[in-house]
Amino acid sequence: MAGRRGALIVLEGADRAGKSTQVRRLVEALKDQGYQAEGMRFPERTTEIGRLIGSYLENKSNIEDHTIHLLFSANRWEHVPLIKEKLRSGVTLVVDRYAFSGVAFTSSKENFSLHWCKQPDVGLPKPDLVVFLNITPEAAAKRGDYGNERYETSAFQKKVQKRYTELMEDKSLNWKVIDAAQSIEDVHNAIKRLSEAIVTEARDQPIGKLWVED
Ligand SMILES: Nc1ncnc2c1ncn2[C@@H]1O[C@H](COP(=O)(O)OP(=O)(O)OP(=O)(O)O)[C@@H](O)[C@H]1O
Ligand SMILES: [Mg+2]
């Protein structure tokens, strides 16, 4: 039927929770089921804004805290035309981090409120499903050392985890928490079940706006 859109599915969670692994697995599985599906990730480091972010994350440049927050948001906004085009053409997008990462990270810095951090992302396409891959810092650490990028310390990651918990209290979003300490296969099966249901549910609904009362 004409006009059926794809679903916007976001995977969030701490470093090493398994987001990138699960985005790849889910895209493959959806395609195997005959759906159109593509992966996407934020930050997307290939644009001009993305390159500034990449250099910041690799500690090759310093950018003032508010400014980098706005650049992360701008990196999502610059992809909104593409996101809408894909969804409207029936492609389900599986996204590796989205506004929730942006807010959880900046609001873990001194003197940043959750409220301020959310504002630049208000009105982005609203995910139909946000999967939170839940893992303790200890279990995540067993998957390899934190890298050398900015934010990759266990103290900062604990603050980020707390901010995610606050964001998950927002019942206007379809948050689903999955135990990410399970095997890759078990986590995948859980995400696949949730995603197949949401692809069916979302296809006749308009694309919503993130953090906007409807
Ligand atoms: N369920 C799992 N059990 C054991 N190891 C896992 C599991 N999921 C992923 N891994 C492994 O943990 C490592 C991190 O996984 P992945 O890169 O998918 O995490 P991520 O959430 O994308 O991390 P980052 O936030 O750093 O990008 C990889 O080596 C991956 O193979
Ligand atoms: Mg990753």
Q: What is the pLDDT of residues 65-99, one digit of tens each?
A: 999 999 999 999 999 999 999 999 999 999 999 99
Output the pLDDT for position 120.
98
Which residues, in sequence order, are CB contacts of 169 under 8 Å at separation 6+? none
Residue 187 near ligand 1, beta carbon < 6 Å: yes
In this structure, are residues 68 and 34 in contact, taking their beta carbons and an 8 Å threshold? Answer: no
Q: What is the model's pLDDT at position 30? A: 98
- pLDDT at position 201 is 97
DSSP conformation class of 62 = -
DSSP output for 75-143: HHHTTHHHHHHHHHTTPEEEEES-HHHHHHHHTTSTT--HHHHHGGGTTSBPPSEEEEEE--HHHHHTT
| Contact of 39 with 68, CB cutoff 8 Å | no
**Per-residue confidence at 109, pLDDT binned at 50, 70, 90?**
very high
Q: Could you identify the atom of ligand 1 that is nearest to the CA of residue 182?
A: 1
**Residue 111 CB contacts under 8 Å (≥ 6 apart), including other chains:** none
Helix then strand count (H, E) for the chain reads 9, 5
The predicted model gives 19-32 an average pLDDT of 98
pLDDT band per the 50, 70, 90 thresholds, residue 138:
confident
Confidence of residue 146 (pLDDT cuts 50, 70, 90): low
Q: In which residue are the tokens 């139909």 written?
A: 128
Q: Which ligand is nearest to the CA of 16?
A: 1
Q: Which atom of ligand 1 is nearest to the CA of 11?
A: 21
Q: Which residue is closest in CA terms to ligand 1's atom 26?
A: 15
Return the SS3 of 164: helix
